Chain A
Amino acid sequence: MSTRRTFLKLTAAAGLAPAVASAQGAAAGKVVVIGGGYGGAMAARMLKALEAKLDVTLVEPNPVYTSCPFSNSVLANLREIGQQEFRYDGIRRAGVSVAQTSATAIDATARTVTLADGNRLSYDRLVLSPGIDFNWGAVQGYDEAAAQKMPHAWKAGAQTVLLRQQLQAMADGGLVVMSVSANPYRCPPGPYERASLIAYWLKIWKPKSKLLLLDAKDAFSKQRLFQNAWAQLYPGLIEWVPLSKGGKVTSVDPATLTLVTEFGSHKAAVANVIPPQRAGAIAAQAGVADRTGWCPVEPVAFESTLRPGIHVLGDAAIMGAIPKSAFAANAQAKVCAAAIVDLLAGRKPQDPILINTCYSLVAADYGISVAGVYRPDKGQLAEVPGAGGTSPLDVVGGFRGQEAVYAESWFRTVTAETFG
């Protein structure tokens, strides 16, 4: 229902638009969005859908977006990498200008963005959705060159394909070693979905192989659901080593595929290192990242608490209790777009409610989920008490199968809403 839009159009037509709106002007507003993933692409598109007169530019260097959600299924040969790829044609058709280049500098005072192609864009509001960068060297020896031997595959694309090739080339009986970062990082249950689906594939194709999961923490998302499923589906195949048992990898040697922990060292046939992370580099350049490397924001419009006029979405932001998931980035993007339209028109944005739903596949037809509902509380997004939680531990019939089907339905819907 467009009650409010109709109201605003009518009042504007009648010359009743608020003074602020005519001074700054929704019609003349310029919004630049940096980063074309689940957060940025959705924000750009929603801004244009809510206010067609806005001038919206999406800055994204890649012509094709490769989705991390469902990329673990590519590792297990359940999908092809091409099914993860989305182009920006739909976003262009929606009226968004797409600048296929990267942003090199942001001047938060002058409100300008300098692009790698030499152009400079001015903005009334800037949306940053840069995703993550890796803290190279935080695990000693793990740098960009090492990632060619021991892939992270935590940005989907060539790295996903490389890890899959290594798994397929491995001899039966080989040891797969995964190293998982401490919190926070992109997609909290993602490493455990990955371990599950690699085990699913090993059980079929390399049944003498094992997977060692070295973890820099003692607890993880959906832990009991994962561990129950591993015991049931892959007995003896996955060994999880928590922090307290020497799971934290402190250094690696890419030449010998060796991972060293505080308790010993492990030589892998295939090694997957998910390293510590921070907000995408442009966030620090813009001055919106704090000492943790992530970006604090207020909980209504997700405007930076460090630099006014810059909104931060998705994995790069510190969003209180809401996890770093694609579902959350998509939900944040839609709330942020509506808030920016309000702010440009001189209105106060309404306190939002956000939902997160995050599915993981443990096998091709076995899905589990975690959900939460979030609202602003004391300057943060806080979980609504009594809501949310994980799938039940004990279920009957086709419950896990149904959640696997819902997972794929979510993926089709959210990618169509964002890129379609």
Chain B
Amino acid sequence: MGRVLLPALASAVLAAGPAGAADVPANGPPGASSCTGCHAPSKLADSAIPRIAGRKAADIETFMREYRSGAWPSSVMGRIAKGFDDQQTQAIAAWFAAQPE
């Protein structure tokens, strides 16, 4: 009975994002869980560092790309963004976009 569920689940999972479906652990693709040390996952704390949960994935990707190139000046994010390629950035952006704001 359960077996008929699998193809439907698999396609739903595959459609979920570029991160690669069942490879996404519950706390995000590689690198994502480090981000919340500064970018609070919910409105936890009074902070000058912007929250990224619930932001549009395309916006997060743009920020990361411009931090990486230096087009958008930053204190620390340029140094961090250089550690992630487009695919990794895309997966992280998709994951944060899907988190509750």
Contacts and interface: CB of A to CB of B under 8 A. Distances in A.
Interface of A: 1-5, 7, 10-11, 14-16, 46, 49-51, 327, 330-331, 334-335, 337-338, 341-342, 349-355, 357, 369, 371-373, 375, 384, 386-389, 391, 399, 402-403, 405-406, 408-410, 412-417, 420
A64 to B, nearest CB: 19
Contact of B6 (A16, A46, A49, A391): A16
Contacts, number: 160
A4 B38 contact: no
B24 A355 contact: no
Interface in B66-98: 75-76, 79-84, 88, 94-95, 98
A338 B41 CA distance: 16
A192 to B, nearest CB: 19
Contacts of A420: 44-45
A387 to B, nearest CB: 3
Contact of A417 (B5, B21, B36): B36
A11 B1 CA distance: 11
Contact of A3 (B16, B30, B38, B46): B16
A10 B9 contact: yes
10 closest cross-chain pairs (CB), A and B: A373-B83, A14-B2, A387-B83, A1-B98, A355-B34, A334-B33, A353-B31, A416-B44, A412-B45, A387-B82
Interface of B: 1-3, 5-6, 9, 13, 16-17, 21-27, 30-31, 33-41, 44-49, 75-76, 79-84, 88, 94-95, 98-99
B80 A7 contact: no
Given A14-B2, A373-B80, A338 B37 contact: no
Contact of A7 (B13, B37, B45, B79): B13
Nearest to B40: A413
Contact of A14 (B5, B16, B44, B80): B5
* Contact residues of A: prevailing secondary structure: helix
Given A1-B95, A338-B26, A414 B2 contact: no
Nearest to A357: B76
Given A391-B75, A406-B38, 14 more contacts: A3-B24, A7-B9, A7-B22, A15-B2, A49-B27, A338-B25, A338-B33, A341-B26, A355-B80, A386-B82, A388-B83, A403-B76, A413-B49, A417-B44
A402 B40 CA distance: 18
A5 B1 contact: no
A1 B38 contact: no
Nearest to B77: A371
Contacts of A408: 48
A259 B60 CA distance: 53
B41 A1 contact: no
A45 to B, nearest CB: 12
Contacts of A372: 83
Nearest to B25: A338
A412 B82 CA distance: 26
Contacts of B45: 409, 412-413, 415-416, 420
A79 to B, nearest CB: 15
Given A14-B1, A371-B79, A402-B75, A355 B21 contact: no
Nearest to A352: B30
Contacts of B21: 3
Max chain A CB contacts within 10 Å: which of B2, B76, B81?
B76
A350 B26 contact: no
Contacts of A371: 76, 79-80
A353 B76 contact: no
B37 A327 contact: yes
Contacts of A334: 27, 33-34, 36
Max chain A CB contacts within 10 Å: which of B1, B35, B47?
B47
A1 B99 contact: yes
Given A1-B24, A4-B22, A16-B2, A417 B80 contact: no
Contact of B80 (A338, A342, A387): A387
Max chain A CB contacts within 10 Å: which of B26, B47, B81, B88?
B26
